């Protein structure tokens, strides 16, 4: 792209300088941040850290029950949002025309949902899932709240995936007398899979990073959960608690932060690898 534009003129030195200064500033801050986390977190990382329970309010010990709780919350979130998300995306991409009022209403509400602050989700989860539905402070309550948060991200990416499938496939499938259901299940879903995966990953990333929505819904308890109705502490909440409420908890907070970062990088990387691998196999441009 840089070759498309002419070389910068002499008088262009101001914008060029600004650009380079901005980039250097940004890179410096971020390298500083990441190296700080890695440096402090690496000292805490060990097998024991990942497999033992926290002791002494988390200053010592590990994060095993926290990891389990996090996984369970994530599981509930995905189990609810994936079917709902794919279904809605399918409807928006395949069954509604651009002017349909129903489609526009749904899209508007999803846009607002996507911008809603996480603390508002926390309030909603508290009022609806915890209080009205009687789930109290529980993994179920937290997972359901996160599902509401993650839904718009999932839907948008999945819908893009469906729209990327060329219209020719639908026409020739119809001309062959295949039912809509068959066309969707056997042709469109596999072809849209890369978009789905991207949406999934973005959603998981958002869910893992969430704190404010979980404080009032899944609670603070750092014991190993016995059921979905137990309260459980997510990784992000553990980091928050250790750094703000527990004096001397910084070390383990860094360790937990590093674990969280590694988890996110692994998930992201897997998705990129998967979608490239699949892209080569499934979507061959004509």
Partner 1 sequence: MSDISLHVGFRPWPALKERPPCCEPHEFIRTENLSIYYREKPALENVTLPVNTGCITALVGPSGCGKTSFLMCLNRLTDLIPGSRVAGSVRIGTDDVLQAQTDVIALRRRIGMIFQKPNPFPLSTWKNMEFPLREHGVRDRVEIAETVEKTLRDVGLWNEAKDRLHAPALALSGGQQQRLCIARALALNPEALLMDEPCSALDPISSGVVEDLITSLRQRYTVLIVTHNLAQARRIADHVALFWVQNGAGQLIEYGPAKDIFEAPREALTAAYISGMRG
Partner 2 sequence: MSRSRTDIVLVWSLRGCAALAGAIVLLIVVFLVLESLPALQHVGLARFFTDASWQPSEGLYNLTPMLWGTLFAMAGAVLVATPLGVLSAMFCHYYAAPVVARFYRRLIELLAGIPSVVYGLWGLVVLVPLIGSLHPPGPSLLAGIAILTIMILPTIALMADAALANVPAHYLRGASALGLSRWATIRGVVFPAAKSGLFTGVILETGRAIGETMAVLMVCGNVVQTPANVFEPIRTLTANIALEMAYALGDHRAALFVSGLVLMAVIVVLVAGAERISKGRVYG
Q: Which of residues 155-174 bind partner 1 (CB under 8 A)?
A: 166, 168-174
9 near partner 2, judged by CB under 8 A: yes
Stretch that binds partner 2, among 98-106, 167-175, 225-233, 273-281 (CB under 8 A): 98-106
Residue 171 phi/psi, 5° resolution?
-65, -45
DSSP β-bridge partners for residue 61: 54
DSSP β-bridge partners for residue 60: 55
Stretch that binds partner 1, among 19-27, 176-184, 198-206, 222-230 (CB under 8 A): 176-184
**Cβ at position 83, least distance to partner 1 in Å:** 24
Take residue 253 and report the two structure tokens written for it.
């907070």
**Cβ at position 17, least distance to partner 2 in Å:** 10
239 near partner 2, judged by CB under 8 A: yes
185 near partner 1, judged by CB under 8 A: no
Question: CB–CB of 66/238 below 8 Å?
Answer: yes
Q: 3-state DSSP call for residue 45? A: coil
Question: CB–CB of 66/235 below 8 Å?
Answer: yes
Nearest Cα neighbor of 45 from 265, 211, 258 is 258
76 near partner 2, judged by CB under 8 A: no
115 to 154, contacts with partner 2 by CB under 8 A?
115-124, 126-128, 132, 148, 151-152
How far apart, in whole angstroms, are the C-alpha atoms of residue 243 and residue 246? 6
Using CB under 8 A, list all residues that contact partner 1: 97, 166, 168-179, 182, 186-187, 191, 282-284, 286
């Amino acid at each position: 792209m840089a070759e498309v534009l002419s070389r910068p003129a002499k008088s262009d030195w101001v914008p060029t300088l600004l650009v380079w200064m901005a980039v250097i500033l940004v890179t410096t801050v971020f390298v500083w941040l990441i190296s700080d986390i890695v440096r402090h977190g690496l000292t805490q990382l060990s097998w024991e850290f990942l497999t033992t329970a926290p002791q002494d309010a988390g200053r010592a010990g590990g994060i095993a029950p926290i990891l389990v709780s996090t996984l369970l919350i994530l599981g509930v979130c995905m189990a609810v949002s994936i079917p709902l998300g794919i279904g809605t995306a399918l409807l928006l991409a395949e069954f509604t025309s651009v002017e349909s009022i129903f489609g526009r209403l749904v899209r508007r509400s999803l846009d607002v949902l996507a911008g809603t602050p996480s603390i508002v989700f926390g309030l909603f989860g508290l009022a609806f899932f915890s209080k009205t539905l009687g789930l109290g402070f529980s993994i179920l309550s937290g997972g359901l709240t996160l599902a509401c948060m993650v839904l718009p991200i999932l839907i948008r990416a999945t819908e893009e995936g469906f729209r990327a499938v060329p219209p020719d496939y639908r026409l020739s499938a119809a001309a062959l007398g295949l039912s809509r259901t068959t066309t969707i299940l056997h042709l469109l879903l596999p072809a849209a899979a890369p978009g789905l995966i991207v949406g999934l990953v973005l959603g998981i990333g958002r869910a893992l990073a969430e704190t404010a929505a979980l404080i009032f819904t899944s609670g603070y308890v750092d014991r190993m959960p016995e059921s979905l109705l137990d309260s459980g502490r997510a990784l992000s909440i553990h980091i928050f608690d250790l750094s703000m409420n527990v004096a001397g908890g910084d070390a383990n907070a860094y360790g937990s932060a590093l674990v969280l970062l590694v988890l996110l990088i692994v998930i992201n990387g897997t998705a990129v690898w998967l979608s490239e691998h699949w892209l080569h196999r499934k979507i061959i441009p004509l």
